[in-house]
Structure 1
Amino acid sequence: MGASDSKLAFKEDIFRLAGEEAIAIDSSWWLRFIQLPETAEDVQTLWSPNDLRDLTLNTPSERPSSHTQTAPKKNAETLIYRTVSRLHALQTKRVFDDPLTPIAPEVLNCVRILTRLLPYIYEADYLSDWEDQFFWQPRRPVSYPDPKSDSRRIYVDGLSGAAVPEEKKNSNLGPPLGEQLIDILTKYLFFPGICLPAKKDANGVPELKPIYTVWQSGIGAQRGAAMTKDNEKNAVEVLRLLLVLAGRSLYFAPGVVAEKDIKPLTYLATQADRAVVLNTICSLLNTALKYNQNPWSFPIDLGAATKDSKQPLVTCCLQFLLVLITYPVPGNGANEFRKALGRLHRAEDFQFIVEGLRQILMQPTTGMLRLTTTAPPIIPETLALFWELLQCNKRFRSYLIDTERARDFIVLVLFYAIDGKDDPAKQSVVRTCVFILQTLSVEEKFGPKLNALFTAQDTLPSVLQIPNFHGSYADFLIGHIHALLTSSNRGLESLHPALLAVINNIAPYVQGLQRATSTMLMHVFVSFSQPAFLLANESNHLLLFSLLDAMNAILEHQYDENRRFVDAVVKGRKRFEALRDFTVEGAEAEIDRMTRERKDIGESAAGRATSHESARDATSPRTTSLDMVPEDSAFAIGDEDDEDDEGDGESNLPSHDTSTRASMSNDALEDALPLQSRSMSEKARGKQPVGLANFSRSTSRNTSHTSLASLIRLQTRQSLQPFTPDYQWLHTWSPHLPLHTILQLLEEEEDGGRARPSKTPAAGNAVSSTLPAAPSQHAGMRSSGTAPALEVKVQTFRWTSAALGWYLSLLWGRVYAADTARIWAGTNVRLFNVVAQQSRISLSSPKGAVDAVGDTIARRIGGLSLRSPLTSREV
């Protein structure tokens, strides 16, 4: 179709589809749509959105409402029947006079037509009943006007074109058309001359029979199928149509998508032949994991798809694999693809998976020649695949931890989390990384592995290095969790429960926490225990509960091995005692005072609102803002005569934000220092133990340290529906704060533990002698050991409908963003708001484009809460 005349003629054929009422199904004219186009671009450009929507409307007037069910034009039905019929015929019989004629051009044109048309059928709510009947009910005869009589109708089999007697017009002719189409397409994935190299029989004629074999060597195959570049391009188009069939999910709202029956996926996940399931999952997995776009460690331009012919195939394989294994079958049915992934058990298969994942994830962090720092565009999908493997395959989790490769992946996952924490377009990647850490931390053997010394920091990218760091993997992990908790990006606030869950899960096993790490944990406690923070949000106290549980776990299970942490707890005695005295009666007085101040400040702000900017910053009278709660109030944590080394009521936590460095005052700089370093000269700080001295010096160089409480101020000030605390709400949780273990420790320290010498620590682990008695003197506290005798509380990941809605939105957002063919562009996608995010989405350059959409959806569903701990979806 290179000539303009042929394209004009083809366009006239498209107009005829919408102009004539019902063209006979046996007309040879239909073959023009299958035989004339030469490229996918021909079909994409010549079939405009208006042409396709004309086909979906049976009435030429206005579009029906979603409540008015109708059917598309008869020609749309016939076009679908003819393309599916041709796909089946090309697969089962010789349709050309010359048997050596390749079938690939017509197969691809049929695939392209359906790929172009189906999204416009899915977007039309008024076609939902017709869609279910046409594709997913047993196939019945199709009626057409009889050309010989105006009053009669003729009935034919839509696939074969054979006439059907009128008395059998209501009979079933075969399985649903949608099921037959899926069977045809899955066979084409393994069909010689299409996705596999052509194979000829003894007479030199191409064979017409699928060969179920794995595309690439790896899991399930020692040798690959030797696919050519044409085979890879064909596989991309077939996989793309399968994604379009499964893309019915794009046209549901995120709140209900997890509960909808996506019939193409249900059929694939439950009814596909075993040979199809095993060969498909191995082919997709091996193709993705063997991908190395940078074999010589030269990360030139990792984002340009045109420079790497394999990238489109790898992207489609990863996306279709994730769509298959994450689909929740209605009625708790078994997903055969997920089961197959969960049944992998050979060590060599796990080694192949680990090396493949590591090769992809490490590409932006290594290289002999660094010409770009752009990460591979398939990183989000690769991280999602890693998370799915951890969830559905217990043996893989055990292998990863037993071989100590989990520590390598901790570093890789933290790289993507820290690298993206301040980028709104990467929030979904950060979320995936945090949930990976939470899933790993649930394993009992994971925590003890973190006690190994971390010595490779000098080889890490600068974004991941902690200045003057020394300690274990546990210190490294908690240090970066602290950075995520104190990030200035408000989009990460919904991740705080999951981040604290990671600390909670590893707390019973960590040993030898460094002083800087202990200080970080105390800083978080100080911010979470502020009355202003606790009263600012209905669920903020859950964060404090989680953190206290983690601190208790350290003291109860590894008391003797974490003397620096014990020292930090003892020095924060007054803060714990003030939290204990956080009474309901006093809180009522505090709430009344806050209400009066909100009213006064609200009236004052209204009087000053002379511009749009001041109006936007004014605080609502109902908003609970932490700015309105002075730290010297009756319920500030700590007394005015606190010791200097315990700091003020609000501890500022270190962060990576440097945007306001020049505007910080001397007081703010003093607040930014660790609690133990306040009121000390620079010389005195230099005499502290190495870890704390270095921490103090590095902190003093960066004066823009955002406290967690200040982030909550911003969150509360901008809240659309502010929370108003009351007595009943406070009484439900304040008497149940898990302070017993810590208060017992402090009581024994005050009653005589101060005079008892502490156990001699290992070299380089010097602690103060003003510590409580030996661990044996404290009931409920254990010293060392990697298998705590006390019960260990684990916060696991449980899939809820809202969480799954976010996750499916993320996956399909990546599919949408990677769509260089613009398949779904212009259709009414409901899974995420494309129009509102248009400034962030570039369809011509879709790298990471829809990550921000996933962030919007996560905020829309309210994030994930500690109220419903998550558990893995395991096979």
Structure 2
Amino acid sequence: MGASESKLAFKEDIFRLAGDENIPIDSQWWSRFLQLPETAEDVQNLWSANDLRSLTLNTPADRPLHSQSSPRKNAETLIYRTIGRLHALQTRRVYDDPHAPITLEVLNGVRVLTRLLPYIYEADHLNDWEAQFFWAPRKPAEYVNPKSGQKKYFDGLNETKTVPEQQKDAVLGPPLGEQLLDILINYLFFPNFTLPPRNDDNGLPELKPKFVVWQSGIGANKGVGMSKENERNAMEVLRLLLALSSRAMYLAPGIVAEKDVKPLTYLTTQSDRQVILNTLCSLLNTVLKYHQNPWGFSIDLSAANKDSKQALVTYSLQFLLVLITYPVPNNGANEFRKALGRLHRAEDFQFICEGLRQILMQPTSGIFRPVQRLTNQPAAPIAPETLSLFWELLQCNKRFRSYLIDTDRAKDFVVLVLYYAVEAKDDPSRQGIVRMCVFILQTLSVEEKFGKKLNTPFTFQETLPPALQIPNFHGSYADFLIGHIHTLLTGSNRGLESLHPALLAIINNIAPYVQDLQRATSSMLLNAFVSMSQPSFLLANETNYVLLFSLLDAMNALLEHQQEENRRFVDAVVRSRKRFEALRDFTVDGALEELDRSTKERKDAGEFAGVRSPIRNASLDSARATRSPALSNVPEDSAFAIGDDEDEDDEATPSISSHASASVAVPNDALPLQSRSMSEKARGKQPAGLSSFSRSTSQNTSTTSLHALNTHTSNTTYNQSFSPTAEWRGGPRLSTSDPSTNTTTPATATTAKHADLVGAPPSSPSEVKVQTFRWTARALGWYASMLWGWVYAADPARVWAGTAVRLFAVRAQRREVSLKSPRGAVDAVGDTIARRIGGLSLPGGGGGGGGEGGRQTMREV
């Protein structure tokens, strides 16, 4: 809209839409909304938030819901006329000149709906109207002449087609929302719009969609040759599809996994296999083929506003993730996820691995090229979404997992995933990235072949980024992985305590296969054991002992299955035997005496104002047992230090949808398998350090973190509500045959499993038990929050800016800060949202006023 007069005229039309109650339904005036704007910015900037909210005002009580005098009635007419015009442009020749391009009107129709829909979704009072207007079978629309009061019924998608009053309740077609989705999917594959020009038999522009794969790769040996204009058009259609699907943004995280998001349900359950496969392959190939760069030059993915290709890649990846992660209600099958799980050709997997690797290794370009060094490139702005896509492939396609492990590519991805976890671990705003990386590693670790492959020597540490290098490292991939798990366990900020069970689960899963563990790695495991067995850790919370049990179980698996191949680890255990013996003799009284003594010593030394543990006054009326030795004073044969060493199935497993119903049983926890040994009572009282998704830290529950213990932080506070009961102190003795079905205490677990520290390996080792990640409603809420947070923050058009999102909270970020990284703070976005989803309560409806003048980012809820 080049001329200022045209922009002024368009703004006047917008004002009239909100204030004029007498606009005839069949007036040509409505067409101005699709003909006047010239760019997406015109629609975005001239249609303000106040203008849009004026169309969604609640109907006054003295007016009928669908009365012409309601501003919402004009919104209905605008939606009808826009969708009807999009359908007409796609199915018949509407211009006098049959060769005239349809592009501008189609784009303006897409832009109007993209601008309006988020404001409909944010208005709670429109929920019933939205369900009826968009998702009920379409019936005739009603128009009341303001002068005569006469009623008129017509087809909303074709204002010239009237309907007799006696047929006013007749069904004219499927729901309007479904018809809009069909129209938009067709436009993704429409010649002369998103595909190159194509004529019919009469030499006129083709008016039929052609379902083909956009780019070469999976499902196509040759691309269709999209022009930059085609790419820009496809990008705008994808943006509207995301806007239609963004109903989840306006739901609370606690319920988002249980709500039926109608657009996504329709898209993911439709039966047209041609549409599903071509859409899936087009989106996937667009992402994986972007800037294939065999020469190792820097890949600049930072200009989404200027580069239409970058915007298309970003929207393609985000829309693909939204589709494949959607949990269909009532355990229905997600056809996009099933199609992704059916990929099986080796060449497809090779293409996928190379595409993912090109994106993820940008900031670590020297990782797999020993002759090159680190180039200090910034991370790709779509790196978080790419990690998510990698995780989804691992979960839903077992053939891909096997290919990854059999070809040794899994080891490369372990290094990449560890890089993103370690690089983000100290940034509270990016803990979602760390969480996802840990779950990726846990998903890989359940494979037996993966555990065995980790015994390969790791020989190129000097090419790694500094954040990944372990001083004086020698060893295998297993040593490298355990070393960084130890870093995440003991060297990260307090917010990552909720990941400790998953980190220990990874060690548990690989322990039966690890061989030749180095001395430094053995010391790390024993140091972690020492920290977890300290009374200050065990008595800090009712269930902290489960972490110790998990570590002991991993150490036991090492000894039971690979004792002869791990002499250094055996030696470390033997040298530390007094630590195990002290834990075997653990009693509550002895632990409390030690804590009191330690507090007094530090107080006398002036370290801090000593506080007597509140649990000292707990119920200790039962007979007092033998005091436990002070673990901190147990002598060792030699000290341990970390330093130098000496020398198919079609179905996804586990799929998100398949676990949706299971989540109802335990709605407040995303429990990995390692937590199954807990009683229901104990599980309900889990602290932040024991569930995959921590409770709100505002609750009066505290734990002693391993980081605090390893840095000698002495001002530890204790859980005021934890009282060591007789059940906690003297629970059932652990059965050595099935550790997953009993409630244990530190004393009983250690006595049963480690009475004899190291003996001859058993003639027939017990069955290996893997600890898998399990989806629950709470986990899905976290995941949806993170994905939609990325969508919100990465959008250069600011589609959702200023709306009252509820899935996460929003704050404005200063523009000069946002420009420091390629996508501003986008690589950190979504990682902070809903970190404390349990009992989540968003202030003020979710923080809608981010403002439209600057880039947006998330803040921790």
TM-score, normalising length: structure 2? 0.81
Matched, 1:477 2:481: yes
Matched, 1:811 2:773: no
C-alpha separation in 2, matches of 1:636 and 1:489: 30
Matched, 1:861 2:838: yes
Matched, 1:29 2:29: yes
C-alpha separation in 2, matches of 1:260 and 1:859: 20
C-alpha separation in 2, matches of 1:103 and 1:94: 9
- Corresponding residue for residue 638 of structure 1: 631
Spell out, residue by residue over 1:808-829, the C-alpha distance to the aligned partner (whole angstroms, 9 max, x if none). Answer: 1110010011011111000000
C-alpha separation in 1, matches of 2:298 and 2:220: 30
C-alpha separation in 2, matches of 1:428 and 1:148: 59
Moved more, 482-491 or 322-331: 482-491
Note the C-alpha offset of 1:489: 1.6
Moved more, 157-166 or 241-250: 157-166
- Corresponding residue for residue 40 of structure 1: 40
Secondary structure of the residue aligned to 2:767 is coil
C-alpha separation in 2, matches of 1:91 and 1:715: 71
- Corresponding residue for residue 801 of structure 1: 777
- Corresponding residue for residue 151 of structure 2: 153
- TM-aligned CA distance change 1:370 to 1:301, over 3 Å: farther
Amino acid corresponding to residue 20 of structure 2 in structure 1: E
- Corresponding residue for residue 170 of structure 1: 169
- Report how many residues are paired: 748
Spell out, residue by residue over 1:475-528, the C-alpha distance to the aligned partner (whole angstroms, 9 max, x if none). Answer: 111111111112232222111111111100000000000000000000000001
- TM-aligned CA distance change 1:489 to 1:584, over 3 Å: closer
C-alpha separation in 2, matches of 1:72 and 1:464: 59
Matched, 1:80 2:79: yes
Matched, 1:822 2:822: no
Asked whether the equivalents of residues 417 and 429 of structure 1 are also in contact (C-alpha less than 8 Å), the reply is: yes
C-alpha separation in 2, matches of 1:444 and 1:26: 68
Identical residues among aligned pairs (%) = 65
Note the C-alpha offset of 1:445: 1.1
- Corresponding residue for residue 287 of structure 2: 288
Q: 1:501 aligns with which of 482, 486, 505?
A: 505
C-alpha separation in 1, matches of 2:373 and 2:576: 49
Asked whether the equivalents of residues 253 and 830 of structure 1 are also in contact (C-alpha less than 8 Å), the reply is: yes
- Corresponding residue for residue 851 of structure 1: 828
- Corresponding residue for residue 373 of structure 1: 377
Secondary structure of the residue aligned to 2:196 is coil
Matched, 1:690 2:690: no
Asked whether the equivalents of residues 18 and 74 of structure 2 are also in contact (C-alpha less than 8 Å), the reply is: yes
Secondary structure of the residue aligned to 1:537 is coil
Give unpaired runs (5+ residues) of structure 1: 63-69, 609-617, 626-632, 648-672, 678-687, 692-705, 747-771, 783-788, 864-875
- TM-aligned CA distance change 1:840 to 1:494, over 3 Å: farther
- Corresponding residue for residue 101 of structure 2: 102
- TM-aligned CA distance change 1:194 to 1:553, over 3 Å: same
- TM-aligned CA distance change 1:642 to 1:188, over 3 Å: same
Matched, 1:738 2:752: no
Asked whether the equivalents of residues 545 and 737 of structure 1 are also in contact (C-alpha less than 8 Å), the reply is: no
- Corresponding residue for residue 661 of structure 1: none
Spell out, residue by residue over 1:23-65, the C-alpha distance to the aligned partner (whole angstroms, 9 max, x if none). Answer: 2221100000001100000000010000000000144899xxx
Spell out, residue by residue over 1:606-645, the C-alpha distance to the aligned partner (whole angstroms, 9 max, x if none). Answer: xx9xxxxxxxxx98986999xxxxxxx9646537461362
Note the C-alpha offset of 1:329: 0.3
Secondary structure of the residue aligned to 1:578 is helix
- Corresponding residue for residue 680 of structure 1: none
Amino acid corresponding to residue 858 of structure 1 in structure 2: R
Aligned pairs for 1:738-777 within 5 A: 738-739=749-750, 743-746=754-757, 775=760
Note the C-alpha offset of 1:708: 2.9
- TM-aligned CA distance change 1:711 to 1:457, over 3 Å: closer
TM-score, normalising length: structure 1? 0.80
Note the C-alpha offset of 1:689: 5.6
C-alpha separation in 1, matches of 2:59 and 2:714: 50
Note the C-alpha offset of 1:710: 3.1
Amino acid corresponding to residue 140 of structure 2 in structure 1: P
C-alpha separation in 1, matches of 2:310 and 2:197: 23
Q: 1:461 aligns with which of 457, 465, 473?
A: 465
Amino acid corresponding to residue 739 of structure 1 in structure 2: T
Note the C-alpha offset of 1:421: 1.3
Secondary structure of the residue aligned to 2:158 is coil
Asked whether the equivalents of residues 787 and 830 of structure 2 are also in contact (C-alpha less than 8 Å), the reply is: no
C-alpha separation in 1, matches of 2:710 and 2:248: 35
Note the C-alpha offset of 1:847: 3.8
Note the C-alpha offset of 1:734: 1.6
- TM-aligned CA distance change 1:187 to 1:583, over 3 Å: same
- TM-aligned CA distance change 1:386 to 1:596, over 3 Å: closer
C-alpha separation in 2, matches of 1:238 and 1:434: 34
Asked whether the equivalents of residues 122 and 804 of structure 2 are also in contact (C-alpha less than 8 Å), the reply is: yes
- TM-aligned CA distance change 1:429 to 1:718, over 3 Å: farther
Asked whether the equivalents of residues 140 and 171 of structure 1 are also in contact (C-alpha less than 8 Å), the reply is: yes
Amino acid corresponding to residue 642 of structure 1 in structure 2: P
Moved more, 529-538 or 231-240: 529-538
- TM-aligned CA distance change 1:251 to 1:641, over 3 Å: closer
Matched, 1:415 2:392: no
Spell out, residue by residue over 1:255-307, the C-alpha distance to the aligned partner (whole angstroms, 9 max, x if none). Answer: 11111100000000112521110000000011101112756423264423246
Aligned pairs for 1:88-127 within 5 A: 88-127=87-126
Aligned pairs for 1:835-850 within 5 A: 835=811, 842=818, 846-849=823-826
Aligned pairs for 1:558-569 within 5 A: 558-569=562-573
C-alpha separation in 2, matches of 1:117 and 1:595: 63
Aligned pairs for 1:653-672 within 5 A: none
Moved more, 809-818 or 480-489: 480-489
Note the C-alpha offset of 1:731: 3.7
C-alpha separation in 2, matches of 1:96 and 1:120: 33
- Corresponding residue for residue 3 of structure 1: 3
Secondary structure of the residue aligned to 2:152 is strand
C-alpha separation in 2, matches of 1:7 and 1:836: 28
Amino acid corresponding to residue 172 of structure 2 in structure 1: L
- Corresponding residue for residue 553 of structure 2: 549
C-alpha separation in 1, matches of 2:575 and 2:753: 12
Amino acid corresponding to residue 142 of structure 1 in structure 2: A
Spell out, residue by residue over 1:409-435, the C-alpha distance to the aligned partner (whole angstroms, 9 max, x if none). Answer: 111111111111112232222111111
- TM-aligned CA distance change 1:790 to 1:723, over 3 Å: same
- TM-aligned CA distance change 1:274 to 1:553, over 3 Å: same
Note the C-alpha offset of 1:140: 1.2
Asked whether the equivalents of residues 810 and 854 of structure 1 are also in contact (C-alpha less than 8 Å), the reply is: yes
C-alpha separation in 1, matches of 2:806 and 2:710: 32
C-alpha separation in 2, matches of 1:712 and 1:173: 70
Matched, 1:450 2:454: yes
Amino acid corresponding to residue 127 of structure 2 in structure 1: S
C-alpha separation in 2, matches of 1:594 and 1:92: 84
Moved more, 121-130 or 713-722: 713-722
- TM-aligned CA distance change 1:369 to 1:854, over 3 Å: closer
Secondary structure of the residue aligned to 1:512 is coil
Secondary structure of the residue aligned to 2:832 is helix
- TM-aligned CA distance change 1:263 to 1:833, over 3 Å: same
- TM-aligned CA distance change 1:139 to 1:378, over 3 Å: same
- Corresponding residue for residue 256 of structure 1: 255
Note the C-alpha offset of 1:136: 0.4
C-alpha separation in 1, matches of 2:170 and 2:706: 71
RMSD (Å), alpha carbons = 3.4
C-alpha separation in 1, matches of 2:612 and 2:248: 39
- TM-aligned CA distance change 1:383 to 1:207, over 3 Å: same
Asked whether the equivalents of residues 22 and 74 of structure 1 are also in contact (C-alpha less than 8 Å), the reply is: no
Matched, 1:398 2:391: no
Note the C-alpha offset of 1:83: 0.5
Secondary structure of the residue aligned to 1:445 is helix
C-alpha separation in 2, matches of 1:856 and 1:369: 35
Spell out, residue by residue over 1:373-429, the C-alpha distance to the aligned partner (whole angstroms, 9 max, x if none). Answer: 311001000000000000000111011111111111111111111111112232222
Note the C-alpha offset of 1:366: 1.6
Asked whether the equivalents of residues 623 and 717 of structure 1 are also in contact (C-alpha less than 8 Å), the reply is: no
- Corresponding residue for residue 764 of structure 1: none
Amino acid corresponding to residue 829 of structure 1 in structure 2: V
Secondary structure of the residue aligned to 1:857 is coil
